[in-house]
Structure 1
Amino acid sequence: MGRRIEFDDDVKIGYVYIVNKKYKYKIDETEELEVNPFLNVDIDKNGIIIGIELFEEEALGLKEILNNKKRMFIESPEGYSFRMSQEEVRSKFVFRGLRFCFSNVGYKGLIGIDIIVPENYPAKYIL
């Protein structure tokens, strides 16, 4: 899998790489997720989300799973799915082919990401 999840304990910032090292990219823009100011997404020139930067309380969930994840994404009926927690999903937000899943109604508490447009994120770059 390589290091696709990072967490800096000193500054409480985490990063999740959506794509693996096989995907060649250059970050074209960074955008704050509209519904949650503690999540930024890095996007390449093709509009693909390369990774997600998590700040403050959103990043803390990464610390728990940093060394426990054997596989990043698993196949699901809709595409691919990554979960940081098995908590119930109470709110969802779709952006550029990804569904961001949150444990709180107000788009807080990121607990997972679903790839719902798999043609934009081929398996060879995800798994």
Structure 2
Amino acid sequence: MIELDVNECINVDIDQEDRVAGLELFAEEAEVLRHTPVHEDEYSLRFTDQDVLSTYHLSGVEFQFSKPDHQGLISFKLIDSLK
């Protein structure tokens, strides 16, 4: 498990083939899941309709944030399904 360099409230599990195997949200980033409608499709999961102001890529996943400093997780999407 690794912590995102840009946000300590998001941990990502990486398998032996360097693929994302799990995602853990803590503190204020986990709060986004409580009373928010979830919009999902085959490749992404979006928690709010806020504008994306910053993104971070890790092992084929793009994390999208509502603040320019990589805080306020609003969605993530698979950009490389092989990872």
TM-score (norm 1): 0.60
Q: In the alignment, does 2:32 pair up with 1:61?
A: yes
Partner of 2:65: 102
Supply the AA of the counterpart residue of 1:58: E
Give, in whole Å, the separation in 1 of the partners of 2:24 and 2:17: 19
Partner of 1:114: 77
Task: Please point out which of 30, 50, 72 is paired with 1:87.
Answer: 50
Give, in whole Å, the separation in 1 of the partners of 2:22 and 2:33: 14
Over the aligned positions, Cα root-mean-square deviation in angstroms equals 1.6
Partner of 2:41: 74
Q: Cα deviation per residue 1:39-79 (whole Å; 9 max; x = unaligned)? A: 111111111111211111011001124xx54x7x414xxxx
Supply the AA of the counterpart residue of 2:70: Y
Structure with bigger gyration radius: 1
Helix, strand or coil at the partner of 1:64 = coil
Give, in whole Å, the separation in 1 of the partners of 2:82 and 2:20: 13
Supply the AA of the counterpart residue of 1:96: S
Partners of 2:60 and 2:82 within 8 A in 1: no
Partner of 1:35: 6
Q: Cα deviation per residue 1:1-48 (whole Å; 9 max; x = unaligned)? A: xxxxxxxxxxxxxxxxxxxxxxxxxxxxx0000110111111111111
TM-score (norm 2): 0.89
Q: Among the aligned pairs, what percent are the same residue?
A: 37
Cα drift, residue 114 of structure 1: 1.2
Counterparts of 1:11-26 in structure 2, within 5 Å, are none
Structure 1: segments with no counterpart, 5+ residues: 1-29, 121-127
Aligned residues: 83
